[in-house]
């Protein structure tokens, strides 16, 4: 019997080693160790042994069982590892394939110009204000010293929604709103960018365009402050060799009023020629009526204001000659900036 047991062990170990998959291994296990397996058959005949032999053979049978179980367990682990390895092999992804190129976005040239403008004023300590695009006639005109029948309303062809509500024709109503937001006569230094709307449409005019308003109010603000501020700003934007010219003009909400022309290197005619002047913004000293209508006392404080079109500035900065390019969003155009 001892020989039978040792043989069984050798056979079992061979079978287990030869098992190529989990099914073959399970079959081997049943064949040797199962209820109807070889080991059980041997143990069953132990009843024929003498009392002296029985414990010896019993102990050997147990060792054989444990050894064979250990070999089976080792084989099972090996097969499992092999199966995992095969899965890893068959499911690998080829990461050497070049990735599909993502299209990159660009900052829109109008936004780029606005950021330049804001950077310059924020450096000078200006805050940024906002106001509604759908505006009351009252803020857009009336409290800017433009009563209902004022002829200067014709300067800005307006889209009315009702007789009292319109799409704002300029960012100047934010002047009035900002004055009213503040404690009367307290200092203000702000810019207000945004969309504006006028009934106009050709290569240099769009019914929707963008402006940046500016307003400074404090004790003793003079025209020299306006001039100095705009000079710093325009040289920031167009370069330190930019020439600046103030031309007398008229706006109902400023007095005196001026338009500012610039001439900068990229725009100057051939050497020795006259500089090429371009109108860039409107400005002036805040009209005393505007201060009064919005809760400030023109006897105590004074101020200046200015307004500029962002499209015009972007056209000059980036050499664009048709304003409609800004709104068509043709990728071939946008990609250039």
Q: Which residues contact ligand PHE by CB under 6 A?
A: 170, 172, 213, 251, 254, 282-284, 305-307
Whichever of 109 and 284 has its CB closer to ligand PHE, that residue is: 284
How far are the Cα atoms of 81, 90, 96 from residue 93, in angstroms, in the given order? 20, 9, 9
Closest of 173, 170, 161 to residue 198, by C-alpha: 170
Task: Quote the least distance from Cβ 205 to ligand PHE, whole Å.
Answer: 13
Whichever of 237 and 283 has its CB closer to ligand PHE, that residue is: 283
Which distant-in-sequence residues (6+ apart) come within 8 Å of 191 by Cβ?
Answer: 117, 118, 121, 126, 127, 128, 129, 212, 213, 214, 215
Task: Quote the least distance from Cβ 333 to ligand PHE, whole Å.
Answer: 26
Say which residue the tokens 């404080």 belong to: 301
Whichever of 305 and 310 has its CB closer to ligand PHE, that residue is: 305
- How far apart CA 144 and CA 137 sit, in angstroms, is 10
Task: Quote the least distance from Cβ 102 to ligand PHE, whole Å.
Answer: 41
Task: Quote the least distance from Cβ 254 to ligand PHE, whole Å.
Answer: 5
Looking from the CA of 330 toward its CB, the CA atoms found within 13 Å total: 7
Task: Quote the least distance from Cβ 240 to ligand PHE, whole Å.
Answer: 25
Task: Quote the least distance from Cβ 143 to ligand PHE, whole Å.
Answer: 14
- How far apart CA 193 and CA 202 sit, in angstroms, is 23
Whichever of 256 and 275 has its CB closer to ligand PHE, that residue is: 256
Q: In the complex, which residue's CB is closest to ligand PHE? A: 307
- How far apart CA 196 and CA 291 sit, in angstroms, is 23
How far are the Cα atoms of 45, 58, 328 from residue 50, in angstroms, in the given order? 11, 12, 106
Whichever of 19 and 193 has its CB closer to ligand PHE, that residue is: 193
Whichever of 32 and 141 has its CB closer to ligand PHE, that residue is: 141
């Amino acid at each position: 019997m001892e020989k039978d047991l040792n043989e069984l062990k050798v056979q079992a170990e061979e079978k287990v080693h030869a098992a190529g998959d989990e099914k073959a291994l399970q079959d081997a296990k049943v064949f040797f160790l199962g209820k109807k397996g070889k080991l059980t058959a041997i143990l069953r005949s132990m009843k024929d042994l003498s009392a002296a032999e029985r414990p010896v053979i019993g102990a050997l049978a147990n060792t054989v069982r444990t050894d064979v179980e250990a070999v089976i367990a080792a084989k099972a682990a090996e097969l499992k590892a092999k199966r995992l390895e095969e899965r890893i092999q068959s499911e690998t992804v080829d990461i050497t394939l070049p990735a599909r190129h993502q299209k990159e976005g660009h900052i829109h040239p109008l936004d780029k110009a606005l950021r330049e403008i804001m950077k310059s004023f924020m450096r000078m300590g200006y805050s940024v204000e906002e106001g509604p695009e759908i505006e009351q006639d009252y803020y857009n005109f009336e409290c800017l010293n433009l009563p209902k029948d004022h002829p200067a309303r014709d300067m800005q062809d307006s889209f009315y929604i009702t007789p009292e509500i319109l799409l704002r024709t300029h960012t100047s109503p934010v002047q009035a709103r900002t004055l009213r937001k503040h404690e009367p006569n307290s200092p203000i230094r702000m810019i207000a960018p945004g969309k504006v709307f006028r009934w106009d449409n050709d290569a240099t005019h769009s019914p929707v365009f963008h402006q940046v308003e500016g307003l400074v109010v404090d004790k003793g603000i003079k025209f020299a402050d306006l001039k100095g501020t705009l000079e710093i700003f325009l040289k920031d934007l167009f370069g330190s060799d930019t020439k600046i010219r103030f031309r007398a003009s008229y706006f109902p909400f400023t007095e005196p009023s001026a338009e500012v022309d610039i001439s900068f290197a990229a725009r100057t005619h051939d050497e020795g020629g006259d500089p090429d002047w371009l109108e860039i913004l409107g400005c002036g000293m805040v009209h005393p009526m505007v201060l009064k209508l919005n809760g400030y006392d023109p006897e105590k404080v004074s101020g200046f204001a200015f307004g500029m079109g962002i499209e015009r500035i972007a056209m000059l900065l980036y050499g664009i000659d048709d304003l409609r390019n800004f709104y068509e969003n043709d990728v071939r155009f946008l990609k250039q900036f």
